[in-house]
């Protein structure tokens, strides 16, 4: 069974290709909950520091914050 790379409370960058221009955009998010894998991808419940909405992200969409 695969282990989650990130921990609850950790801040990460979330990269999504869903911007209106079709370009890659990244934002700062906080890990709220570790979710079970779906289709081989580990999932996370995350929340943007700039928005009120929460979303589900796949592990490959996340990257560690620069120090």
User: What's the pLDDT tens digit per position in 6-29?
Assistant: 999 999 999 876 555 554 556 889
pLDDT of residue 17: 61
- DSSP type of residue 59: G
Domain boundaries, the chain: 11-64
Predicted TM-score of the model (pTM): 0.81
Q: At the top level of CATH, which class does the domain 11-64 belong to?
A: mainly beta
Burial class (CB in 10 A: 0-12, 13-18, 19+), 13: middle
Q: Look at phi and psi of residue 43 and say left if phi exceeds 0, alpha if psi is from -120 to 50, else beta.
A: beta
Position with higher pLDDT, 65 vs 35: 35
Instruction: Return the CA Rg of the chain.
Output: 12
């Amino acid at each position: 069974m695969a282990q989650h790379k990130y921990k609850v409370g950790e801040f990460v960058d979330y990269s999504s290709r869903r911007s209106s221009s079709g370009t890659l955009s990244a934002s700062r998010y906080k890990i709220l909950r570790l979710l079970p894998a779906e289709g081989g991808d580990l999932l996370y419940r995350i929340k943007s520091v700039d928005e009120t909405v929460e979303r589900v992200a796949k592990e490959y969409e996340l990257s560690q914050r620069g120090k």
